[in-house]
Amino acid sequence: MNKKQKRTLRNIIISIALLVIISIIFEILEDKMSELSDISARIIKTAAYLVPYLIVGLKVLKKAGRNILNGHVFDENFLMTLATIGAFALGEYTEAAAVMIFYQIGELFENIAVNKSRTAITSLVKLRPDYANIEKDGELEKVDPEEVKVGDIIVVLAGEKVPLDGVVKEGESFINTSALTGESVPRRITEGEDILSGCINEQGVLKVEVTKEFGESTVARILDMVENASTRKSRQESFITRFAKYYTPLVVLAAVIVAFLPPIILGESFSVWIGRALIFLVISCPCALVISVPLSFFGGIGAASNHGILVKGSNYLEAIAKADTVVFDKTGTLTEGVFAVSEIVTDGNYSEDEILSLAAHAENYSNHPIAVSVKNEFEKRGGVIDKEKIKKSDEIAGKGIELILIDGKIIYVGNLKLLSDIGVKPIDKQPDSYGTVVYIADKEKCFGFITISDTVKESSERAVKRLKSQGITNTVMLTGDRKQTADAVAKEIGIDTVYSELLPADKLEKLESIIKNDKEKSDDAGVVFVGDGINDAPSLIRADIGIAMGALGQDAAIEAADIVLMDDNPEKIATVNCIGRKTIRIVKENIVFALAVKLLAMVLGVLGIAGMWFAVFADVGVSVIAILNSMRMLRFSEK
Amino acid sequence: MKKRFDMVDLDCANCAAKMEEAINKIEGVESATVSFMAQKLSIEAAEEDFEKIMKKVVKAIKKVDADCEVVL
C-alpha cells in the first residue's frame, strides 16, 4: 500500500468506528431524542452523522463539485454524492454514511488491485539497468547507461545486469536470459560472442564492447514496447468507454423518471420513489466494467511477458483469440534452420563411423552447409581429420567430390547423378528421413549414404497439436523446399496444408491468397503468420497477426511483428493463443456478470425490494468480484 | 513527433478516457492516447507547436481531474 492508500484506509477505519459509536449513542438516547421537536432531532442527527460521512466522503464531494463546474456532470462521484445527500434528506442517516464508506472501500480495493497488476507487469522494469561500469585509470566508475557510446568498453561484474548490447571482448561466463526469454537455464558465453542487454552475468567478469546505444539496445526497446502496449486498445476497451459515455446520462434520466413519474401518475408519496431512484443510481455505477476490462487485458499482456512473449497491444491479444488459421514459415520456426546429419546407412561391410570418416575427409576443404554438417557430426563422434591421408580432393560441380587417398584409393562422395556418372548403383536401402542424401562409393560399388536434413524442432508437433485443440482449424506451412521434403516434414508435425518449392517472393503472394480465402469464409477470424524474422517482415506486416520468433536482437522483426517471441520455441504460439482466449473469456464474463447483476438489482430497487444496503453491495461487490476475476490473468501459468 | 509522458495520480479509468477524448480535440494534436494502466500519455503532434500544445494538454487534463499531474 502506498501513502495515499494508507490514508484512505485510516479514514475508512475511523469513520466506521465513529459511525458505530454514533449509532449506539442515538440508540441509548432514543427516549431523550423523542422529547425533542422533529426539526431539532433531525438537525442533531444530521450533524452527528455528517462527521463520519465527511471523513471518507469529502474528497468525493469535492470532486463531484469540481467536475460539475468543469461541465462533466455524470460520473461516479456525482452519483454517489447525489445518492448519499438524498439519503440524508430522507432521514436515512446510517445508510448515507455507510454507502459512502462502502464506496470508498470499493475504491481503495480497486486502487490496490490496479497497482498490484501494474507492479506485476512492470516487474519487467527490473530489466532496466541502473548503471554501466566503465574502467577509468584502473578503477571502475558507474555511469548512466544512456551516456555510454558505441565502441566504449563496459565491465559487467558477476551478478550484474548487462546494461547495453555488445560483443564480449574478454572473459567468459554463464548468462541468465530468463528476464528476456523466460528460459531459466543459463547460457554459456565466451569471447567474440554477442551479448544482449537485460541478461544477468552469473559468474566472472565480462568486458563488453558496446555495439548499440542504450536507446537502441534490447532492454530499452522491450521496455518501450511493453509500456506502449496498453495504448493500443482492444475493441472491448473502446466499447466500454463509449458505453460509459451514453450509459451514465441514460441512467440518470431513468432515475429522474423513477423519482417523479410514479408519484405523479399513481399519486404515491414522493419520498418513497425518490428513495428508490437513489438506490437505482447507486446500483447503476459502471465502474466494475470501466476498470475490469482494461485490467484483464493488462493482466494478459503481463502474463505473456512473463512467458517471454511480447504482445504489442490489447488489440492483438483480442485478434489472436479469434484467429482460425496459422501460417508457418518452415525454416527456423518449425525446424531448427540448421542442417545436421540425421541418418547414416551402410551396406553392412563398413561401419557408420568409417563411412562418416570418408565423407568428412572428402568434404574437408569445402564450406558448403552440407560439408559443414558432415564434418560437425564427425567431430561430435570424436573423429579427427587426418590431412596426411588426403592426397587430393576435387569438387565435381553440382554432383559431389572426388577424393584421392594417399594409398591411391579413389572415393566418390556425392549425389545420385555422381553415382550414375561413375556407373555405380546405390545400395538398395531407402533413407528413413527426408532431406539431402550423400552417397559414398568407389569405382566398383556404393558403401552407403548419409542423410542430412534440417531437423524439426522437438516442440513443433506439440505446438501444432495444442493450437488445433485450442480452436485453430487450419495450419499451413510455406517453404522453399522441394515437395517430398516439405510433405514429410508437414506429416511429421501434423500440418494441414503445405505449399512447397516457393521462392521468397511467392510466400507473400501465398499468404495474401490464404488471407483472402479466410476472409471469404468469415469476416471475424484472422490469419496468424509465424516467421523467424529473417526476410519475412512484409508477411509479418501483412498478416492479421504477425508473430516473430526468436527475435532477440533482430530489430526489423521486432519492428514488423505484432507479437514477438523472445526465444524460438513454437509452443509459445499456443501459449499466447491460450492467454488471448483466456483474457477474452474473462472480459466477457465480467461484462455479462456485471450487467446482469446490475440490471436485476435495478429492477429490484425500483420495485422497492432492494434497499440501500443491497445497492451498495450490488455496486461495490460486483466491482470487487470483476476485479478479482481480472486479476486471475496475472497468475496465468500453463499447468 | 511522438512523445510519451508519465502521469501521476491518474486514478480512474473513466477519467483517462475523458482526458484522451479532450486531448484529441485540441488543435494540432494528431493522435493521443492516455493509458490508465501504464499511467502514460502518448501524444503525436507537430514539433514546432509541441510546447504550446502541451500547455493546452495539461489544462485539459486538469479540467478532468485536478489532482492528476503530467511529468513534463
Q: Does B8 touch chain A (CB under 8 A)?
A: no
- Residue A382 backbone phi and psi in degrees, to 5: 90, 10
Compare A345 and A369 and report the one with higher pLDDT.
A345
List, for residues A396-423, the tens digit of each pLDDT value: 777 788 888 888 788 888 888 878 888 8
Question: Could you tell me which CATH class the domain A314-334+457-561 is placed in?
Answer: alpha beta
Place A552 in a pLDDT band, splitting at 50, 70 and 90.
low
Q: CA-nearest residue of chain B to A227? A: B38
CB proximity list for A256: less than 8 A, separation 6 or greater: A277
> What is the rounded distance in angstroms from the CA atom of residue A23 to the CA atom of residue A94?
8
pLDDT of amino acid A9: 92
pTM over 0.90: no
Within chain B, where are the H helices? 13-25, 50-64
Residue bearing cell 463546474:
A69
- pLDDT category at A584 given cuts 50, 70, 90 is very high
Confidence label for A155 from pLDDT (cuts 50, 70 and 90): very high
To the nearest 10 degrees (0 to 180), the angle between helices A571-607 and A622-631 is 180
**Rounded distance, CA A531 to CA A549, Å?**
6
Q: How far is CA A435 from the centre of its chain?
A: 35
Give me A430's grid cell. 531407402
CATH 3.40.50.1000 domain residues, chain A: 314-334+457-561
CB contact under 8 A, B17 and A72: no
Distances in Å between the Cα of B38 and the Cα atoms of A33, A223, A231, A295, A411 are 53, 12, 8, 11, 67
Q: What angle do CA A158, A128, A197 make, to 5 degrees?
A: 60
| Nine-digit cell string for A604 | 429490484
Choice among A67-81, A272-286, A354-368, A436-450 with the minimum mean pLDDT: A67-81
Contact at CB, B40 and A227, closer than 8 angstroms = yes
In whole numbers, what is the pLDDT of chain A averaged over residues? Answer: 84
Strand-strand pairing, A563-565 and B2-8: unpaired
What average pLDDT score do residues A619-631 get?
85
User: Cα A574 to chain center, whole Å?
Assistant: 12
**A294/B13 touch (CB, cutoff 8 Å), yes or no:** yes
**Catalytic machinery residues of A:** 329
Residues of chain A with CATH 3.40.1110.10: 336-455
Q: A89-95: long-range contacts at Cβ-Cβ below 8 A with a sequence spacing of 24 or more?
A: A90/A271, A90/A274, A90/A275, A90/A278, A91/A42, A91/A45, A92/A275, A92/A612, A93/A45, A93/A46, A93/A48, A93/A49, A94/A19, A94/A23, A94/A49, A95/A611, A95/A612, A95/A613
A229 chain-B contacts, CB cut-off 8 A:
38
CATH, range A336-455: 3.40.1110.10
| DSSP assignment of A235-278 | HHHHHHHHHHHHHHHHHHHHHHHHHHHHHHHH---HHHHHHHHH
A464 touching chain B per CB within 8 A:
no
**Span(s) in chain A for CATH 2.70.150.10:** 132-219
ipTM surpassing 0.85: no
**pLDDT one-digit tens code per residue, A262-319:** 888 888 888 888 888 888 887 887 777 777 888 888 888 888 887 888 888 888 999 9
Q: Test B36 with A70 for CB contact under 8 angstroms.
A: no
Q: Which fold has domain A132-219?
A: 2.70.150
Whose CA is closest to A601, among A89, A251, A95? Answer: A251
pLDDT computed for residue A172 by the predictor: 87
- Residue A496: the pLDDT is 93
Q: Which of A4, A227, A236, A238 to mutate to test the interface with B (most CBs of B within 10 A)?
A: A227
